[in-house]
Each structure stands twice: as C-alpha cells, then as structure tokens.
Amino acid sequence: MDSLPGGYTNATRRSASGQVEKRYQGDDRRERAALEHACLARLAGLLPVPTVIAVDRDVPALIMAEVGGGHGQGLLDAGHATRVLRLAGVLLRTLQDLDPGVIPELTGSGGVIVHGDFGPQNLLLDDHGITALVDWEFAHRGEPIEDLAWAEWIVRMHHHHAIDALDELHHGAGLDFDWTTRQAAMVQRCEALVRYCELHRSDGAEQWRTRLQRTEAWTD
C-alpha cells in the first residue's frame, strides 16, 4: 500500500485495488473511528464523502473506495485559491443547511453540523467541483463560525499567499463574521487542540501552544 499525505491522528494508505485504508491511532482511536464511520454512512447521498466498503473494529480501520481529484492544499499552492476557497464555502453552506439530526451520533448542542477540521486540507476536487470532504473524526454539533474560522486559519497558517482569496470562502458560505469574532474562534480551536494533545498526544502539545501564540498575535 502507498501512504497518503496528512494523517496527524491516523495512518492512511492506498491499495493497488483502488481502496483506501484508514487506520486510527491514539488512545481515543475507537471513538474517532466509530464517529467517522457514522458520519460517512449518514451523509452518503447528502454530501460528497467517501464510500465505506468495510470496517475493521479490531484495528480499528475503515476501508473506503478511492475518490478521484486533487488535494485542496496542493491546488491552493498551484494557484487555484479563488476556486478552491469558493467551492469550500459553498460546500460549507450545504453542510450547515443540513439538519444536525441526520447524524444522531454527534455530541454537542449547537445548531449545525461541524466537521471539526474543515478546510482545503480535507478536500478533494476535480474539474467539476468537490469530489469529497474527508476526515470526519472530530465532527460534532456546534456553531456556524467554527468550520468557517478553521478553514481561514488553515489558509493564514499554511498558505499565506492565498489570504487575499479568503473573501471567496466567506461569500460562498454566506457567512459574515467580523475579524475579532473569527480570530476568537481560531484561538478557541487552538486551545482545544492543546488540551487534546495533552490528553492524547503529548508530543504535539508544544507545537499547538506555539501555533496558539501565533494565532493570538494575528491582525486582520
């Protein structure tokens, strides 16, 4: 199998038979695997998500059909930021229009489905549009700003050259939050990731503390 990029909390590999195996790691791996499986099963036909072929609960692992398309971050860096972020915004609007009750396994009390790691890093796209939104292991019920702010954080942290295209993300999503509110949401998410790493991935906590400090220092 060939390893795929990403995989901060898992290992994802592509097989010669056109399948993708995602093996979950960490002491909370079973909970994350079960949540992602539930999300993919419930959202099939409602959003572009990978199709689950099989589940190995012992590992745990999901076996999914491979989805075509280029990785969103790669397309961003190749000069397609306007298109990628516009389509990401439109998809986010579609996600937030869904009744959160379609995924009864979600925890939280907000009014929308929150992907939990939304952004170009988890999108696949082809010439026709978005082919898949992947990595649902941190999904929950929450507030509309959460996924919007995190997608913006990904751009500001890792793709500074694409900041001027962020208006496409906001317009596509149909969301209008001021900078102070968006930054506060980014800070809150970074703080949550520090806590997560302290509980489950001590090797990543210091990195997230550094990212938190950078996020707090940003100006619009």
Q: What is the pLDDT of residue 2?
A: 41
- Could you tell me whether strands 70-71 and 123-126 are parallel, antiparallel, or unpaired per DSSP bridges? antiparallel
For residue 18, the model assigns a pLDDT of 79
Looking up residue 53, the CATH number of its domain turns out to be 3.30.200.20
8 Å CB contact between 89 and 150: no
Domain boundary residue among 46, 65, 84? 65
Burial class (CB in 10 A: 0-12, 13-18, 19+), 79: exposed
Asked if 47 and 78 sit in the same domain, the reply is no
Do 143 and 115 fall into the same domain?
yes
Of 65, 83, 111, the residue that ends a domain is: 65
Identify the domain boundary among 48, 65, 82: 65
- Same-domain check for residues 93 and 169: yes
- Whether residue 184 sits in one domain with residue 149: yes
At 202 the pLDDT is: 66
CA 38/CA 139 separation, integer angstroms: 10
Same domain, 186 and 99: yes
- Report, as ranges of residue numbers, the positions in the chain whose pLDDT lies below 50: 1-8
38 is written with which tokens?
């539930």
Number of domains in the chain: 2
The pLDDT assigned to 220 comes to 87
The reply to whether 24 and 122 lie within a common domain is: no
User: Same structural domain for residues 11 and 55?
Assistant: yes
- Run of H or E including 24: strand 19-24
CA-wise closest residue to 75 among 111, 36, 121: 121
Which residues 6+ apart lie within 8 Å of 103 measured at CB?
Answer: 38, 39, 42, 43, 113, 139
User: What is the model's pTM?
Assistant: 0.93
Element holding 186 (H helix, E strand) = helix 179-200
Q: Are residues 13 and 60 in the same domain?
A: yes
Task: Write out the residue range of the structural domain in which residue 148 sits.
Answer: 70-217
